[in-house]
């Protein structure tokens, strides 16, 4: 048994560089044991969904490979974290346990109990911030209450001159380890990657999980997608999106590393405009805002923030829900987005708003259905972002979209996918239609449909609901809540 060691408990911080917990362990000079624990006590609604599990497997594999190159490796365990850590401390004679913080209520309460128990046993237990620019308890409005509106949060918190976060890159080179390691489970034993049918098989064509993949994605975005970000981000067929959300969720790159890279690029590249950079930084601000809400209002993943919505009479329509999930609603933009989600594990942000509005306002199905589907199918599924975003689009959250704002999927696709490029990619059966007809095939003359080989109701569905009629019905229903 070693004379002493440090444990680094990895969670949503799957990187070696810019990792405060790992840096703290390195400073001890003791051998380091790195551990990842699948917490089986996590509430079911917060357990990683299918697409997230696929990403987690890839990311842990990459992290383990990176550790091996530095003379260490990951230990894998499932169960109750406190019990596992106590047992591991006994096996490794650990004098310290370090981890980076999470911000959902389950993790907070769990970590407090673990820290208290370890300190009572004279084990140095410390936690750090690796996930956010601003930790939620450090932020209050001038009234002393949590921010409930994004704009003042963004302007008075994220853009203040006294905002401080690490400006230097902290590299982890040699990571000391003991001569032997306790036995652990194998990552493959967890079966995070689907087998048959392997619905995630196409993910590898779009994503490269891990710390190296995160930095390559950031570099590519700055070089190719940032120049026209403010306008280009609205057009789903264009490449003006960063694709960093899953990397940020699993902590493969620090948010301050992204922010600093943007500022550096702006100072060095005359082609970049402040407007485009600040617009993307505001997306980081929305991420911070969502975590602020999750911390101060921990019930938002399961309960309406606006309690009047508890009395709303949501519809029950399993057939409509299935059509929405499968991209068979008869509205090309909706169907394109839902099919992109299934094939990529991701969906363009503007389309997310449109498909969300369609579910809760045109179909009048509970936002929980959308949140659960996104949670299971998004590689960037994040409890804070997913919960806040669905409550936003449903109108029941803080700073929510007004009940009378109902996205028209035909107008949205005509405006933001005018040439039908996005629709043709994800709904190929409509590809033969011209740029006008492709947005609303049910209005197209029969001879044009016939020439394109489209038979509505057979190889592409009729709209499952009339937008105008369902919009008026939704306005009546939502107005009663007001």
Active site residues: 283, 286, 314, 349, 367, 390
Q: Rounded to the nearest 5 degrees, what angle is found at the Cα of 49, between the Cα atoms of 47 and 52?
A: 105
Dihedral sign from CA coordinates of 369, 373, 374, 376: positive
Instruction: Output the six-digit token pair for 53.
Output: 């599990």
Q: What are phi and psi of 236, to 5 degrees?
A: -65, -20
Residues 6 or more apart in contact with residue 218 via CB below 8 angstroms: 242, 244, 253, 257, 258, 261
> What's the number of CA atoms in the CB half-sphere (13 Å) around residue 190?
24
CA nearest 396: which of 286, 478, 273, 463? 478
Angle 324-351-319 from CA coordinates, rounded to 5°: 5
The CA distance from 165 to 1, in Å, is 39
What distance in Å separates the CA atoms of residue 312 and residue 395, rounded to the nearest whole number? 12
The answer to whether 416 and 234 have CB atoms below 8 angstroms apart is yes
Instruction: Single out the residue of 59, 54, 11, 63 nearest to residue 192, CA to CA.
Output: 54
**Distance of alpha carbon 296 from alpha carbon 157, whole angstroms:** 16
Q: For 398-445, what is the HEC assignment? A: CCCCCCCCCCCHHHHHHHHCCCCHHHHHHCHHHCCCCCCHHHCHHHCC
Tokens of 254: 């620090």
């Amino acid at each position: 048994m070693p004379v002493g060691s440090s444990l680094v408990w990895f969670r949503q911080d799957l990187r070696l560089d810019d990792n405060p917990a790992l840096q703290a362990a390195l400073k001890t000079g003791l051998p380091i044991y790195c551990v990842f624990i699948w917490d089986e006590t996590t509430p079911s609604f917060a357990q990683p969904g299918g697409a997230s599990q696929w990403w987690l497997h890839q990311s842990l594999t990459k992290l383990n490979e990176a550790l091996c190159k530095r003379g260490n490796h990951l230990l894998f365990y499932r169960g109750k974290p406190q019990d596992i850590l106590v047992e591991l401390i006994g096996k490794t004679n650990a004098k310290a346990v370090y981890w980076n913080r999470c911000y959902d209520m389950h993790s907070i309460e769990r970590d407090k109990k673990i820290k208290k128990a370890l300190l009572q046993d004279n084990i140095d237990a410390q936690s750090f911030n690796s996930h956010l620019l601003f930790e939620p308890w450090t932020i209050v409005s001038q009234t002393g209450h949590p921010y409930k509106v994004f704009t003042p949060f963004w302007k008075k918190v994220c853009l203040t001159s006294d905002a401080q976060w690490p400006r230097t890159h902290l590299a982890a080179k040699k990571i000391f380890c003991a001569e032997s390691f306790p036995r652990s489970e194998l990552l493959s034993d967890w079966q995070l990657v689907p087998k048959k049918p392997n619905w995630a098989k196409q993910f590898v064509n779009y994503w490269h999980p891990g710390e190296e993949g995160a930095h390559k994605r950031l570099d590519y975005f700055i070089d190719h997608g940032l120049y026209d970000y403010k306008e280009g981000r609205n057009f789903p067929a264009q490449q003006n999106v960063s694709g960093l959300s899953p990397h940020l969720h699993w902590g493969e790159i620090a948010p301050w590393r992204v922010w600093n890279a943007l500022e550096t690029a702006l100072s060095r590249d005359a082609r970049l405009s402040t407007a485009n950079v600040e617009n993307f930084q505001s997306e980081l601000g929305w991420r911070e805002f969502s975590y602020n809400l999750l911390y101060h209002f921990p019930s938002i993943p399961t309960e309406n923030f606006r309690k009047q919505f508890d009395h709303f009479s949501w519809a029950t329509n399993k057939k409509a829900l299935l059509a929405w999930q499968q991209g068979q609603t008869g509205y090309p933009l909706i169907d394109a987005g839902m099919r992109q989600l299934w094939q990529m594990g991701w969906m363009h942000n503007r389309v997310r708003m449109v498909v969300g509005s369609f579910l809760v306002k045109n179909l009048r199905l509970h936002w929980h259905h959308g949140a659960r589907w996104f949670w299971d199918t998004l590689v960037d599924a994040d409890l804070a972002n997913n919960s806040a975003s669905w409550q936003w689009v449903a109108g029941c959250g803080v700073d929510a979209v007004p009940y009378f704002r109902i996205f028209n999927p035909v107008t949205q696709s005509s405006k933001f996918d005018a040439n039908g490029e996005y629709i043709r990619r994800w709904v190929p059966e409509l590809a033969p239609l011209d740029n006008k007809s492709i947005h609303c095939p049910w209005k197209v003359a029969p001879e044009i449909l016939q020439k394109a080989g489209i038979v509505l109701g057979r190889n592409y569905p009729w709209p499952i609901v009339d937008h105008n009629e369902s919009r008026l019905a939704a306005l009546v229903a939502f107005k009663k809540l007001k």
